[in-house]
Copies of this chain bind each other. A is one copy, B any other.
Amino acid sequence: MTDNVSMTELQLATRNHGMPVEALHYPITPVGLHYLLIHYDIPVIDPAIWRLRLDGLVRKPIQYSLEELRRLSSTTRAVTMECAGNGRALLEPRPASQPWLLEAVGTGEWTGVPLATVLSEAGVAYGAVDVVFTGADRGIEGGTEQNYQRSLPAQQAMSTDAILAYELNGQPLPVQHGFPLRLVVPGWYGMTNVKWLNRITVLSEQFTGYQNEVAYRFRQDASETGEPVSRMVPRSLLIPPGIPDFFSRVRTLRAGICEVVGRAWSGFAPVVAIEVSVDGGRNWHEAELDESGTELGRWQRWHFVWNAMPGTYQLCCRATDGAGYRQPVTPEWNLGGYANNAVQQVPVTVTE
């Protein structure tokens, strides 16, 4: 790992929020512990004048006030959300962006209107290719002034279990999570879940906006077109046992039986196997999945009983999902630093 994190990266790290990894304890991440990546600034929105507009290739352009959305049938779902850049700062060389280690994750209980409901009210017309979601947040990226925008393929948008969420954990959506409305697409990386949403536009052609065409793509160099970043690859994390040193965060644990607890998720299929290593990934032992993962895109608890003898250890865990994807021990590099799901490494010293 290179040690020359720049002040530019640091000023992103100090304003964006990771989930302290011990918060894996909570099945639903408390508000204020869920990760946050704010591309530009948090906009100030007056809910009384805010509207959600649906336009473009629809039979009936339509707009909703927040009250009108709240009168539609609602749904509530626990969704694990992870930043596509989680793990970026563990890559070498480190791509220049928000320098996440492993903490860009959280699970929220989102309540809102199914996306399919409003798309069907507006009536997506024949020939729809992409559906663009526009947020109120505005900034400059890649030299271009823009509102944050992301698209989904029209078929995906219509058939998906996506939610237009106006509540998080039973409370009005916090400003930092997109008040008054946020798109939540279970299983997809965080950039999909457009915050401060105020417009949904159906296009008859492919969307060419910055976040789809330039930013979130798997590329080895800038000249490549690359594949789009979409669903979360499997990852597991464990709650570091013992107690930390304040500055180094290195852990000390008393010898004895230790229940190592963690959570695992994948956007492709539920996780079907977890293994634990105490020697940095050389030898692996089967751990116990406590939840079967009936809901795609929600993390699953697991545990492993470790008889910790005095010594120094490197704890790791790795998930395999039902689609056959498994976490690697060493990272795979790409230009944007996306989807690095190499296993977590937790150094622990066990004392008498």
Interface, chain A (partner B; CB < 8 A): 1, 3-15, 17-18, 20-23, 25-26, 30-34, 36, 38-42, 44, 89, 96-97, 99-101, 103, 138-141, 145, 174-177, 240, 243-249, 252
Contact = CB atoms under 8 A, between A and B. Distances in A.
Leading 4 A-B pairs by shortest Cβ distance: A32-B32, A5-B5, A14-B18, A13-B13
B40 A243 contact: yes
Nearest to A17: B17
Contacts of A41: 20, 22, 240, 243-244
B14 A244 contact: no
Q: How many copies of this chain are found per oligomer? A: 2
Nearest to A100: B14
B32 A246 contact: no
A263 to B, nearest CB: 15
A36 to B, nearest CB: 8
A139 B240 CA distance: 13
A20 to B, nearest CB: 4
Contact of A244 (B30, B89, B139): B139
Contact of A14 (B42, B99, B174, B247): B99
Contacts of A100: 14
A203 to B, nearest CB: 24
A11 B31 CA distance: 21
A303 B44 CA distance: 17
B141 A246 contact: yes
Given A8-B247, A243-B145, A20 B3 contact: no
B15 A14 contact: no
A140 B244 contact: yes
B22 A96 contact: no
25 contacts: A1-B7, A4-B5, A5-B10, A8-B248, A10-B99, A13-B14, A15-B20, A15-B103, A20-B38, A22-B41, A22-B42, A23-B176, A25-B44, A31-B31, A31-B174, A32-B36, A41-B240, A97-B247, A139-B243, A139-B245, A140-B243, A140-B244, A140-B252, A141-B246, A141-B247
